[in-house]
Amino acid sequence: MRSPNRTTQPHRSASLVRDSSLVWLAGGIVGVSFGAVSVAGGLPWWAPVLMSLVVYAGSAQFSAVGVLLAGGGPLAAAATGLLLNTRTAAFGLAVADLLGPGRATRLLGAHLVTDETVAFALAQPDPARRRAAFWVSGLGLFAAWNVGVAAGALAGSALGDTGRYGLDAAFPAVLVALVLPALRTDPGVRRAALVGAAIALAVTPAVPAGIPVLLALLGLFTLPGARR
């Protein structure tokens, strides 16, 4: 006789795959944009592919490459990506108990921590389903993102001037899309974004490319509790 747990396990897995699929699709589409614009902007095809495999941090990757394409140096690009990605430290603490035992497993799990994966996992009703949701959504999104980036990088090499297609607008458009939900619902985030934008606009004529993005992060200090 089959146990209830065995009969419900496939159903649970199927529902997690179904619920995650739209996130995977969206991640793949954004990955295509990232790969295409990176290569069309002048980077070698392998640069966005390698970055996506090793760094795997969507918004931080967009920002870092945006700094490079704007003429900023590697240090400014790396600093921008690192600062934007510090939020994943808190995310890692939130899902630490979902990663399972073993150093290799925890290392892989830490690499899969993203906004979407953490949100999807923590929305589940019990620990077992949260753990399964983390790994299903995390592995699927990692695969979709990297396939999308590779496809976009291969296509981007044939696109030529990004200005001809308007692809140079993809960076700010995607970044706005990433932060728009928080801007709509959180007055503190909205205030921080406005302060950061004002700082960036004010210093742009006087500092090298890439530095305005870093200075814009000073807007974070207006968030409640940031100065505690």
Structure tokens at 211: 């530095």
Give the integer Cα–Cα distance in Å for 223 and 5.
46
Tens-place pLDDT, residues 73-85: 777 777 777 776 6
Q: Is the pTM of this model over 0.85?
A: no
C-alpha angle 77/82/88, rounded to 5°? Answer: 145
Tens-place pLDDT, residues 11-33: 566 778 887 787 788 788 888 88
Structure tokens at 20: 């995650």
pLDDT at position 217: 73
Tens-place pLDDT, residues 29-71: 888 888 888 887 788 889 889 989 988 887 778 778 877 777 7
Give the integer Cα–Cα distance in Å for 87 and 78.
15
7 pLDDT higher than 50: no
Structure tokens at 220: 């974070």
**72, 210 contact by CB (below 8 A):** yes
Structure tokens at 132: 């399964």
Nearest partner of 176 among 162, 190, 165, judged by Cα: 190
pLDDT at position 4: 46
Tens-place pLDDT, residues 98-140: 877 778 888 888 888 887 788 778 777 788 888 888 898 889 9
pLDDT at position 114: 81
Q: Cα separations (Å) of 2 from 10, 13, 16, 44, 119?
A: 13, 17, 22, 54, 33
Q: Cα separations (Å) of 95 from 21, 103, 124, 126?
A: 21, 15, 12, 13
Structure tokens at 16: 């997690």
Q: Which residues contact 87 (CB under 8 A, 6 or more apart)?
A: none
Tens-place pLDDT, residues 162-209: 556 555 555 556 556 656 766 777 788 788 888 888 988 898 888 765
